[in-house]
């Protein structure tokens, strides 16, 4: 029985969760599925020494990166607070480039994308990384099309996952590709993941990215928008509610949220619709009405523009992969 050799590359100050999300998910697939080709996971590090993670905990590598040889099923590079030093290490980058040529799949987690980019593996490809560092990756590697929105991107045989726990989603996608959707669902349930999110789901939600608390007016309006997505949320109505001019309202939203009031309202409504799609059985017209869209078609257009897939597909993907009710 031939196994699938999965090599995870770590380095000094790597992020522990970047590594554990991958290795634990693969190990659980082996336990739950008894696949004909089980995963064999190796943690490799330069020099084969221990990896002192960014959290201060130490992992013992199982393989010296310089001595690791293919063929590999999948090569996965972790991120970490020292990702720029790793990307500037010519020996580490050279061995990642060498191993990528001996791997069926290549992937990175979080800021590990910087190492793949330094190795030239993301040139002319679309890639993602943690939203906080996306602009730095794009500035440093103009040949890479950096998209900070999705939780993971698969471009050919190269995949990049966004921030830390998005490694769970990418690894589940690998398991589904290798062994089918049922095993991926079993692993997701045992990991107590409510949803196996599609890769094009946004990294950040407006409902978890609160506005700066120092501006009471903006915070109050955001709370109102979240609680009344089906109400009159036009710029004029919001300005009147706040007692300011439309121009001043727009300036406040751009200053504190990086979006105009209209853009923020549209995004909030789309994300409210995404929540209803997977948490209720409301028809599209009902969801559209609850979220302030004039019709199901208006919802479809806005939703597809934000998530990259129509709402019906989003519901199918997420409800089929959610924990049983």
Give the Cα separation of 273 and 295 in Å (integer). 13
Give the Cα separation of 102 and 313 in Å (integer). 35
Give the Cα separation of 295 and 286 in Å (integer). 9
Q: Would residue 53 show up in a list of annotated catalytic residues for this protein?
A: no
Cα torsion for 182, 187, 188, 193, to the nearest 10°?
Answer: 160
- The contacts of residue 164 (CB under 8 Å, 6+ apart) are 15, 17, 18, 21, 79, 109, 110, 130
- Residue length, the chain? 325
Q: Please, are residues 128 and 114 in contact by the beta-carbon 8 Å criterion?
A: no
Distances (CA, A) of 45 to 60, 269, 304, 306: 9, 45, 41, 38
Instruction: Kindly name the residue from 21, 53, 110, 291 that is annotated as catalytic.
Output: 110
Residues serving a catalytic function are 110
């Amino acid at each position: 029985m031939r196994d699938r050799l999965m090599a995870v590359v770590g380095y000094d100050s790597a992020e522990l969760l970047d590594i554990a999300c991958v290795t634990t998910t693969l190990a659980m697939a082996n336990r739950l599925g008894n696949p004909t080709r089980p995963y064999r996971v190796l943690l490799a590090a330069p020099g084969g020494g221990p990896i002192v993670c960014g959290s201060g905990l130490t992992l013992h590598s199982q393989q010296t990166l310089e001595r690791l040889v293919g063929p590999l099923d999948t090569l996965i590079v972790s991120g970490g607070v020292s990702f720029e030093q790793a990307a500037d290490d010519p020996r580490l980058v050279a061995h990642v480039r060498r191993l990528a040529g001996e791997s069926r799949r290549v992937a990175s987690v979080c800021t590990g994308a910087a190492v793949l980019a330094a190795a030239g593996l993301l040139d002319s490809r679309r890639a993602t990384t943690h939203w906080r560092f996306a602009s730095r990756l794009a500035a440093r590697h103009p040949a890479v099309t950096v998209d900070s929105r999705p939780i993971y991107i698969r471009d050919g045989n190269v995949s990049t996952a966004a921030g830390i726990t998005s490694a769970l989603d990418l690894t589940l996608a690998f398991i589904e590709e290798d062994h089918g959707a049922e095993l991926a669902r079993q692993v997701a349930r045992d990991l107590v993941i409510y949803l196996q999110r599609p890769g094009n789901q946004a990294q950040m939600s407006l409902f978890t990215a609160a506005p700066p608390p120092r501006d009471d007016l903006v915070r109050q309006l955001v709370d109102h928008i979240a609680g009344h997505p089906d109400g009159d949320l036009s710029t004029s109505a919001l300005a009147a509610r706040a007692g300011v001019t439309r121009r001043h309202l727009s300036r406040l939203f751009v200053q504190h949220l990086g979006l105009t009031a209209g853009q923020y309202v549209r995004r909030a409504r789309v994300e409210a619709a995404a929540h209803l799609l997977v948490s209720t059985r409301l028809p599209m017209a009902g969801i559209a009405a609850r979220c302030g869209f004039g019709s199901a078609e208006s919802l479809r257009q806005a939703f597809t523009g934000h998530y990259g897939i129509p709402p019906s597909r989003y519901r199918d993907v997420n409800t089929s992969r959610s924990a049983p009710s």
